[in-house]
Amino acid sequence: NAGVMQNPRHLVRRRGQEARLRCSPMKGHSHVYWYRQLPEEGLKFMVYLQKENIIDESGMPKERFSAEFPKEGPSILRIQQVVRGDSAAYFCASSPGSGRAADTQYFGPGTRLTVL
């Protein structure tokens, strides 16, 4: 059973460009979580999604950031008009989705975004 997959592993963008980060959950998992880890800091929760639904986006910046988890295909975290402060590691996690937030989450290897 393949684990959570994220691609690309490394992404370089110039200021003002768009960044698209992809996350394929573990087989059978219907819940996806996105986290951001800034340099020298811990993980910060961003958004929690089910298939076609956003459950909790309280950690998402109000502008430029969006996330989706379509019925088919991976979850996408999209950052428009990137700025240097967006440089970070972005981790995705998935869980089976029993409906409880306390499900164990399985993490992907992360995408390291560098904004020049």
Partner 1 sequence: AQSVTQLDSHVSVSEGTPVLLRCNYSSSYSPSLFWYVQHPNKGLQLLLKYTSAATLVKGINGFEAEFKKSETSFHLTKPSAHMSDAAEYFCVVVYSSASKIIFGSGTRLSIRP
The nearer residue to partner 1, 40 or 72, going by C-beta atoms, is 40
By CB under 8 A, name the one of 12, 43, 83, 116 that touches partner 1: 43
Contact between 110 and partner 1 (CB under 8 A)?
Answer: yes
Choose one: 42-50, 62-70, 71-79, 80-88; the region binding partner 1 (CB under 8 A): 42-50
5 in Cβ contact with 23 (< 8 Å): yes
Tokens of 21: 């980060």
Closest alpha carbon to 75 in 49, 43, 45? 49
Closest alpha carbon to 92 in 40, 39, 45? 45
| Residue type for position 60 | M
Least distance between partner 1 and beta carbon 80 (Å): 25
Least distance between partner 1 and beta carbon 60 (Å): 14
